[in-house]
Amino acid sequence: MAVCWWLLIHCLLFMSSSAHNDFFTSIGQMTDLLFTEKDLVTSLKDYIRAEEDKLEQIKKWADKLDVLSAAATQDPEGFLGHPVNAFKLMKRLNTEWGELENLVLTDMSDVFISNLTIQRQYFPNDDDQTGAAKALMRLQDTYQLDTNTISSGQLPDPTHQRANGNLKYFEYQLAKQKKVEHKEEGQVKVDDYLPERKTYEKLCRGVGIRMTPRRQSRLFCRYYDNNHHPRYVIGPVKEEDEWDRPRIVRYHDIVTEKEMERVKELAKPRVSPHISSVSKDAWLGAFEHPVVDTINQRIEDVTGLDVTTAEDLQVANYGVGGQYEPHFDFGRKDEPDAFEELGTGNRIATWLLYMSDVQAGGATVFTDVGAAVQPKKGTAVFWYNLHPSGEGDYRTRHAACPVLVGNKWVSNKWIHERGQEFRRRCGLQDTD
């Protein structure tokens, strides 16, 4: 596939060897935080208005008494000689000053404090803030950007807001975090020069993609009906070759906007409770909603593989800096019991559905063969993890590049060996 400019900014951060599959700043959770903060600002303004009303009442009372006392003290005996004035003095001291005392002592912040206390349980913690700082620092190091470039918003998204005021704060945070990292390095040495890490970073930047013009010329788009499948004879799907060895294909317009939104709605409550913690993906079973069952059936129809033994639909949300380290989807020979509990054999194939466009970054890269697949909303990429012999295809080792700008929603279906014994392999053979 052609190397596009946006691939240059795919690599935001590569987690150290001690970390696993961190999803920093899930946009699904961060969106909630934005509205939480908006509600708190509204509550804070209500509190300010209440305090201002309270002070206004006190001020009016004080001004009134100031005028009254100034006149009364000029001729105290003459003033008190009037029975009404004497009565009002008694009334003020006995009643009105007590009411004023109650007003002054009234805490107008109760509602705001109560709201803040409730919402604080959803706030980021120290680990979240540290994770975000590390993500920014790795963005700078991996993409070789200076602090001015990042803080001023000179990224592929020209509409970035509030950029110019970030520089000094950003430099301060980077310096602070680097001190922490240097201290940690004295305790645990991290190998920053692992060959795969360097390959991963290059692919995320759009460097090192190994596709010659001759090979690229043999990649095609076509209408595909999976051997005249009844559902696709009249309306075949659009299939595009993404890579030749291993064969990776993309299906365009494979799900509707409504279906994607419903999947996100179902998954969002289950995605990472903390924005910088190790991800807790959402797993959706066919029984949970008809849309999940519909997607499962579509996967089966298009691939020709039995999905009754497949794993549930896994949904994940990556925010800025969100990434997934290089890995295999299949169980290797040194992992003979990887899927023993499932009793469905190894993962024969992977279906990866992109449910959002990503402004910059977020590509799926295959580190062994030098392939990069761009996220595109409503499309799915599909590949086999196993050779026809059942041996694992080590060329399928892949990773998710960090999201530099935007919001990445993906869902994947891992299809297992059981049930595929007499099924045709969808024509996904490597091209010569």
Q: In this structure, is residue 135 part of a structural domain? A: no
* Digit-coded pLDDT (tens) for 233-268: 999 999 999 999 999 999 999 999 999 999 999 998
Closest CA to 381 of 301, 316, 299, 262: 299
**Most confident by average pLDDT, 125-139, 170-184, 256-270:** 256-270
Peptide bond into 246 cis (omega under 30): yes
Based on the fold, state whether residues 245 and 96 are members of the same structural domain.
no
Based on the fold, state whether residues 389 and 256 are members of the same structural domain.
yes
Based on the fold, state whether residues 376 and 280 are members of the same structural domain.
yes
Based on the fold, state whether residues 212 and 76 are members of the same structural domain.
no
Residue 393 belongs to domain with CATH number? 2.60.120.620
Based on the fold, state whether residues 239 and 111 are members of the same structural domain.
no
Distance of CA 354 to the CA centre of its chain: 14
Of 121, 150, 165, which marks where a domain is finished?
A: 121
Q: Which residue has the higher pLDDT, 12 or 372?
A: 372
Per DSSP, the three-state class of 164 is helix
Q: Is the dihedral of CA 357, 362, 385, 263 positive or negative?
A: negative
Q: In this structure, is residue 273 part of a structural domain? A: yes
Q: In this structure, is residue 243 part of a structural domain? A: yes
Instruction: Give the mean model confidence (pLDDT) for residues 204-231.
Output: 93
pLDDT for the residue numbered 180: 60
Q: In this structure, is residue 229 part of a structural domain? A: yes
Based on the fold, state whether residues 251 and 371 are members of the same structural domain.
yes
* Digit-coded pLDDT (tens) for 92-117: 999 999 999 999 999 999 999 999 99
Write the CA distances from 397 to 61, 387, 400, integer angstroms. Answer: 76, 14, 11
| pLDDT above 80 for 49 | yes
Based on the fold, state whether residues 272 and 364 are members of the same structural domain.
yes
Q: How far apart are CA 33 and CA 122, in angstroms?
A: 8
Q: How far apart are CA 347 and CA 44, in angstroms?
A: 53
Based on the fold, state whether residues 231 and 377 are members of the same structural domain.
yes
Q: Is 381 exposed, middle or buried (0-12, 13-18, 19+ CB in 10 A)?
A: buried
Judge whether 153 and 145 are in contact, CB under 8 Å.
Answer: no
Based on the fold, state whether residues 96 and 206 are members of the same structural domain.
no
Task: Tell me which residue range forms the domain holding 205.
Answer: 199-416
Q: Which residue has the higher pLDDT, 133 or 57?
A: 57
Per DSSP, the three-state class of 69 is helix
Give this prediction's pTM.
0.74
| pLDDT above 50 for 18 | no
Closest CA to 275 of 32, 38, 16, 12: 32
Based on the fold, state whether residues 203 and 117 are members of the same structural domain.
no
Residue 231 corresponds to which tokens in the numbers above? 């559902």
Q: In this structure, is residue 15 part of a structural domain? A: no
Q: In this structure, is residue 302 part of a structural domain? A: yes
Q: How far apart are CA 432 and CA 418, in angstroms?
A: 29
| pLDDT above 60 for 390 | yes
Instruction: Give the mean model confidence (pLDDT) for residues 139-163.
Output: 59
Of 86, 121, 156, which marks where a domain is finished?
A: 121
Supply the mean pLDDT for the chain: 83
Q: Which residue has the higher pLDDT, 181 or 266?
A: 266
pLDDT for the residue numbered 364: 96
Judge whether 374 and 6 are in contact, CB under 8 Å.
Answer: yes
Of 65, 94, 121, which marks where a domain is finished?
A: 121
Distance of CA 235 to the CA centre of its chain: 34
Per DSSP, the three-state class of 28 is helix
Instruction: Give the mean model confidence (pLDDT) for residues 2-17.
Output: 32
Judge whether 286 and 362 are in contact, CB under 8 Å.
Answer: no
In the chain, the number of structural domains is 2
Q: In this structure, is residue 340 part of a structural domain? A: yes
Task: State phi, psi for 365 to the nearest 5 degrees.
Answer: -115, 145
pLDDT band for 321, please (50, 70, 90 cuts): confident
Q: In this structure, is residue 91 part of a structural domain? A: yes
Distance of CA 236 to the CA centre of its chain: 33
